[in-house]
Each structure stands twice: as structure tokens, then as C-alpha cells.
Chain A
Amino acid sequence: MPTRSAEHSAGSAPAAADPRAASPWLGRLLIALGLAYLGVVLLLPLLAIFSEALSKGWLAYLTAIGDREARVAISLTLLSAAIAVPANLVFGVMAAWAITKFEFRGKSLLLTLIDLPFSVSPVIGGLVFVLLYGARGWLGPWLEAHDIQIVFAKPGIVLATIFVTLPFVVRELVPLMQAQTAADEEAAFSLGATGWQIFRHVTLPNVKWALLYGVILCNARAMGEFGAASVVSGYIRGSTVTLPLHIEIVFNDYNAAGAFACATLLTLTALATLVLKTWVEARGRGARRAALAVGALPVQAAPRPARSGA
């Protein structure tokens, strides 16, 4: 670190004050270790996905992601995300509202229950649905009598996806809503707003970035869900196979290039999610900072409103 020693020779700070200056090699070693770790664990696999996917050329790549089973898998993955994300959005907002704005018995139990999908293995989640809705499950006979099939069918996939993605929205909202006092809501109430109006015009705008963040994470998890889905799917090709399951099937058919071709689709959604997430985080932080900047005096030359699109 030549700049650092230059600073020190200029006499701006005592040399012994900075422990990093004492052993520059240790710092470099640690940084190299960290980078190597990242490279082996994250970067190389990412590159491998794309290089393997294109190993047999573009034509093979396009065939792999364009074949009928792949297309069915993609649409089933999109369908389950399209149901699970809105369902957990509505549930998450309601649960966070109840947990943070009201006192009731069993609140901590509810919070623990909401975390359950995080703490149990998704496979167990899937097995529970088989146990409940399967042919020999608790509700099996009744479902069969009414000709409803859940397990080894699309409803089971959707249910499993909802189960594993349930905590994302709630978990994002609860800490933020706990930190906000009820003063904004009380102000709206005193101005004559109804409960729904308060929620729509005050509470929701106050949490919208955290909400969006939760939705993005929820969606990423929904698209990538494997464990629970694999248990309830039954692997009926061209019907109950989601994209991650399809990748597994293709891979087990010794078609590595095809499997990786489909995997690039999931990888690209993941990368898109990361970009979105970073953007939302930055916006949300800016908005929160602005909201918390009590007593700041940017009076004369205030910049354009940071959130003119709100």
C-alpha cells in the first residue's frame, strides 16, 4: 500500500495507529483468499453453466430450451410463481399488518409458524402435502370422492411453492413496520380517512420498497423451488414437471448440454432478480434516509424530488 506509507511519511498520522499498515502481506493474503473462495464457489460455476450449455453449439441450445417438455416446464414454473407470489403478497401484507399494528394472543406463535418454511427442509414440506392430500393421506379419500387431484398434479406444485415462499414478504415487512410508529396512521385517521384509505394511502406507500424487495425474493425462490416440488410432482413428463425438475430429468438422461441450456434460463432470471434487488435496495435506502432526515435543512437549493414517480 504505497499511498498509505506516503501519507504516513507526510506525517499526517502516527504509523502505528493503523494495524493494517503493520503487516500489508496479511491483508493481501486475506483478500486473495476471499477472492479465490468467491471464484471457486460462485464465479466458476456461473461460467460453467453457460459454457456447458453452449458446448454443442447454438442450435443444440435452442433445441433444448424449445422442445415441448421444456416449454411445458417453463410455463408450469411461471404459473406456480404467478399464483404463489400474489398469494404470499396478500398474505404477507395482512400478516405483517396484524403483527405490527395490533396486540393479540398467540402473536409470537404466529411469527414462529411463519418462519416454519425457512426452518424445515423443503422435502419435508413436500412430504407433508403428500401425507395430507395424497391418495392414502388424511384428506385423500374425501378428495378422491370429489374427483380432486392435488398431489402429483399441478395444484400440488402450486401449494408446495406457496409453502416454501411464504415467509419472504412477511419477513421483509415486519421489521420495517415495527420501526415505524403509528403516528402517520393516526394523522390520517384524525383527518377522516377510513381504515382502507389509511392502509392504501399511508401504510402501503411507507412500506412499498420493502414490499417490492420481498416480492422479488419470493419470486426468485418460487421459480427455483426444487425440493418440495420434486416430492409432490410425481415427475409426469409434459404435465407436472417444473423447470428445475425438468433440468434434473434431462441431466439424468445423460444430456448435460440440454440440462445446462435450461439451467441458463433459471440463471438469467436469478441474475435479473439480483439487478432488480440491488436497484430496489438502493431506492428503498434513499427513500428511508429521506424519511428519517428529520431536522435536515436542505431549504435553499433542494434537488428535484427523489421520488417524483411516486
Chain B
Amino acid sequence: MSIDVRRLSKHFGTFAALDAIDLQVASGELVALLGPSGSGKTTLLRILAGLEFPDDDGGRVLFDSVDVTVATPAERRIGLVFQHYALFNHLTVAGNVAFGLRMRRGKDRVAKHVIDERAQQLIDLVQLSGLEQRYPAQLSGGQRQRVGLARALAIEPRVLLLDEPFGALDAQVRRDLRKWLKELHAKIQVTSVFVTHDQEEALELANRVVVMHAGRVQQIGTPDEVYEQPANAFVYQFLGSSNVLRARADGRQVEIDGARYPLEGAAASGEVRTYVRPHDLEIVAAANGGATFAVTVREVQVIGPTVRVVLQRDNGGDLVEAQLTRGQLAALGLEAGRRVFARPRHLKAFAPGASS
């Protein structure tokens, strides 16, 4: 089942939650809608689900080339998974999973033994066998979300929509469930769209990532593409930690405190903001003429296997952050107040106006 979103807008009063969104999802894809809160990602998902409707200005949602813009969720045949599970607390696990099929009436009515069989298959699929007669209150968060998933899949949806599916879970459960969902998707291959504000989740799980901000799509691409070739400063900064270094640009070269570096991204001239990721900022003990600039160590913080070092540029006073391994820290013997030198491995610039 492919999804085609065309020039979709949605206003709440005067607030533009979505501004002329275009998006194509191919059959069997697992796509992440990634953005900060207020970026419109959940609104877009709810419009795909049929719980919300777009502005009446020609915006369209097509499923397999059929216009479903005003269709109900049931007509679209979507499965929906909620951040806070939205399980029916008065029903058992089995009752929750069977709910969608049990509600079918008239010619769509499903025989009881078929419902039971199908519910059991799904409970097995989400690895909750043995817990059929439990109530949601007796399950852990991760188990509840798997019930939510089984319940959504029971109606054999053409599209699976997940709204921050791991948002209410703690870090360890989150990672396990993420891995598990990726395997499940590989097995059942249903076209899926999930909303998240966690870039790690999006990069790990999705075939393609849609980065959203302020009601607009900033970039669509594979996890590699959006991370390695961000379309603008917003995407760059949202997808990981970053430093801003003010520099003088001259076409494809920039100069920082006398050192010259090749510039990636857009060509620029004059005063520019260039960007470097903390793990691309190398620290050396001695100056290397023309390739390093002078900094003073302000703070050293060990976080598990990695080390975060806050540096201040001698010239200009900007604070930047570098990420080292414990080994590098020991070799350099860094401590607050020490004067060292920094060398960026990659420097990126973005054309002005491309970001928002």
C-alpha cells in the first residue's frame, strides 16, 4: 500500500500546523516523521489516520492512488498505535486484540472461532502468549505497547500508523522494543509510518526519515542521507549535537584564526556560520601551523564510555564541544584551564535562508 500526500495544509485557528506538505511512502516502507514538538508530525499522522482532516484547499491524501482524504479510519483500513497505549482497561489482552474484529457487523461479521484464532496468532506474534487473560493494568509498559500493536494489526490494516510508540517507555525497554519492531516490520512488511522526536530512534528504525519543522518538511531521505547530507542547518542541528564556529569564507574555503579548511555544503563568502559535530573536532596538544586554532579547556566530563570536553576559542571566545574516547583523554591529559589546539575534520556551511 503506497501513500501519497499532496499539498496538505492544516490550520488550527491562525496557527499553521502543516504548510503544504508533500510526501510519498512506497509500499512496505517504514517511514519516520521526525521533528520537535509543534513541528506538525503528529497532526500529519492523525490526518493519515482519518482522525483529523486537512484544510479544504485542495490538499489530498491518496492510498494506492485512491483519494481517501475524507474517508473514515475503517474505510482506509489503518492500524493505529498510541503513545499512551489507549488500551481498553476493562478488557483482557485477548479482548483488546479481538476488539476490532468483534465490532464487525452485518456482512463483515467474523465468526467467533475465527476471531479467537486470529487474536491468538497476533498474541503469539507479539510474544505475549500466556498473558491472554491479563488486564492492561497487570502488564508492563513494553507489554502494553505490544498489545496495542497486536490490536492494531488484528484488523489486517493496509497501513500501520504509530504515534510516538516508545515515548512512554524507559530507555532500556525502548531500545529492546525498537529492535523488535524493526524485526517485526521485516517479517510482516506492512507500510508503516511512525512519529518520533528522537533522532536516534528515527535513524535506527526507519527506511526513510522525514524531518519536519514548523509545519514544513525540511528533508526526506534515508537515515544516511539526512545525517550525512543535511539539507539545512535545522536538519543538521536536530540530528545530533553540533557546534557553531564563526569563520571567514571564500568560496569553498574557510579561515578560522589563520587556519584554512575546505568547506562542505554550500559555497559562501564573507562572515559565515560553519558547523562541526563534537566527534569531528580533534584536539591536539601542539599547534600545527595552518591546520589548528587555539582553545582553552573549560570543562571535562566523562559520560560512560565517552568524554565530553567544553572548549573556549582563544580568539572570539565561542564555546565549542568535543567528544573524545577515554583513551584519547588519557593520552592528552586534559584538564580545565589547559591550553590546547583544535582541528575540525569536517566543516559545513548552509546557504542562508535554507534553514528555518
Contact = CB atoms under 8 A, between A and B. Distances in A.
Interface string B113-149: 0000000000000000000011101111101000000
A10 interface: no
Contact-residue bracket for chain A: 20 to 34
Interface stretch (A226-234, A238-246, A277-285, A286-294): A286-294
A192 interface: yes
A291 B136 CA distance: 8
B332 interface: no
Interface in B238-294: none
Contact of A299 (B85, B86, B104, B140): B140
Interface string B76-97: 0011101011111110100000
A202 B91 CA distance: 10
Contacts of B84: 181, 183, 294
Contacts of A142: none
A292 to B, nearest CB: 9
A305 B88 contact: no
A191 B138 contact: no
Given A184-B86, A194-B103, A202-B88, A296 B137 contact: yes
A189 interface: yes
Nearest to B75: A192
A189 B73 contact: yes
B100 A294 contact: no
B155 interface: yes
20 contacts: A187-B80, A187-B82, A187-B151, A188-B99, A190-B74, A190-B78, A190-B80, A191-B103, A192-B100, A192-B103, A193-B99, A194-B105, A197-B103, A206-B89, A206-B90, A287-B89, A291-B89, A291-B137, A299-B143, A306-B135
Contacts of B90: 205-206, 307, 310
A290 B138 CA distance: 8
A190 B103 contact: no
A101 interface: no
Given A181-B84, A192-B100, A296-B140, 18 more contacts: A183-B86, A186-B51, A187-B80, A187-B82, A189-B72, A190-B73, A190-B80, A191-B152, A192-B155, A193-B99, A201-B103, A206-B89, A290-B89, A290-B137, A295-B141, A296-B137, A299-B138, A305-B92
The 6 closest A-B pairs by CB, nearest first: A191-B100, A290-B137, A192-B74, A183-B86, A190-B80, A205-B90
A291 B137 CA distance: 6
A145 interface: no
A124 to B, nearest CB: 42
A302 interface: yes
Contact of B137 (A181, A184, A293, A310): A293
A30 interface: no
A298 interface: yes
A181 B80 CA distance: 16
B82 A183 contact: yes
B23 interface: no
B49 interface: yes
A206 B79 CA distance: 22
B168 interface: yes
Contacts of B73: 189-190, 192
A297 interface: yes
B134 A193 contact: no
Contact of B135 (A197, A202, A299, A305): A305
A307 B85 CA distance: 20
Interface residues of B, number: 37
Contacts of A293: 137
Contacts of A295: 140-141, 168, 170
Nearest to A202: B88
A290 B80 CA distance: 23
A202 B88 CA distance: 7
B65 to A, nearest CB: 22
A291 B85 CA distance: 12
A148 B99 CA distance: 50
B181 to A, nearest CB: 19
Contacts of A190: 49-51, 73-74, 78-80, 152
Interface string A125-168: 00000000000000000000000000000000000000000000
Contacts of B103: 188, 191-194, 197, 201
Interface in A203-244: 205-206
Contact of A191 (B92, B99, B143): B99
Nearest to B170: A295
A6 to B, nearest CB: 40
Considering residues A188, A192, A295, A305, which has the most beta carbons from chain B within 10 angstroms of its beta carbon? A192
Interface string B189-231: 0000000000000000000000000000000000000000000
B134 A189 contact: no
Contacts of B80: 186-187, 190
Nearest to B90: A205
Contacts of A193: 99-100, 103
A183 B297 CA distance: 50
B250 to A, nearest CB: 55
Interface in B139-172: 139-141, 143, 151-152, 155, 168, 170
A297 B133 contact: no
Nearest to B144: A294
Contacts of A306: 135, 137
Contacts of B155: 191-192
A191 B88 CA distance: 12
A294 B135 contact: no
A297 B139 CA distance: 6
Contacts of A287: 89
